[in-house]
Amino acid sequence: MAGVSSCMKYSMFIFNFLFWVCGSIILGVSIWIRVSKDAQQVMYAINSSLFAAVDLMIAVGSIIMVLGFLGCCGAIKESRCMLLLFFIGLLLILILQVTGGILGAVYRSQIETSLNKTLMEAVNSLQSSTEESKVFQEKFQKFQRKNQCCGLLNGAEDWGRNFNNLIGVNKICECDLKNPSPDLCTTFQGRSVYKTPCGDVIIKYLKDHLLIIMGIAFGLAVIEILGLGFSMSLYCQIQRK
């Protein structure tokens, strides 16, 4: 009977180790987003329910790490059970990953529409005077000061009556630079305020991080396909041994 190829076994181990590293990166980045003050301000500015998506990414990263561990142990110990579990789990993740990518591409316009709708709802919160809205307004003002922006879609106009009602407490959108640049500041109701809507800052933030996520997802897909091939080849060799 043919033995198990050492080259195949150790190649399987290396690729699964890389797969485990990818899972660690996803888990680490997701945890960083969950605890990062900058990311939290962005998510609060858009929709606090985005934390659920980050929690999902933490779960995905953990699952990938477990699968990578199964693949490494299955290769070294020549365990068909571990290799089969690894193959099935990896195949399911790849299918979900491809499905998510296709749905994201197909419904991209709807996603953009949904984002704009969410920003509009946030604008209503800026103009509201309820206790719940005040909590959001306080967090959003910190975001404005840090990112030198104002409002969400239409600048200071998004604050409505609150622009003057809250001026004595927080100085909304105040461009307090000694020599303000025309590109950075503008005048609204006789006050110097930041010119850039925070919605533009949020969208840029999402696009920048989306490229990182897409890069990780593409690299992960390549490793997943290689892992599927190696695991099944190794499984068949062990079965024939």
**Domain spans, the chain:** 6-109+210-240, 130-200
Residue 67: closest CA among 12, 28, 8, 5:
12
CB 62 within 8 A of CB 23: yes
CB 72 within 8 A of CB 13: yes
pTM score over 0.85 = no
Cα distance between residue 183 and residue 110, in whole Å? 32
Query: Would you give the end-to-end CA distance of the chain in angstroms?
Result: 5
Q: Considering just the CA atoms, what is the radius of gyration of the chain in Å?
A: 25
Q: Is 169 helix (H, G, I), strand (E, B) or coil?
A: helix
Per-residue pLDDT of the chain (241 residues; tens, 9 = 90+): 445 677 777 777 887 788 788 788 888 888 887 777 666 666 655 555 566 667 777 888 888 888 888 888 888 887 888 888 888 888 888 887 777 777 666 666 666 677 777 788 888 888 888 877 887 888 888 888 888 888 888 888 888 888 877 655 557 788 766 666 777 888 888 888 888 888 888 888 777 777 677 777 777 788 778 878 878 888 888 777 6
pLDDT for 104 equals 64
**Tokens encoding 147:** 């990112």
CB 131 within 8 A of CB 142: no
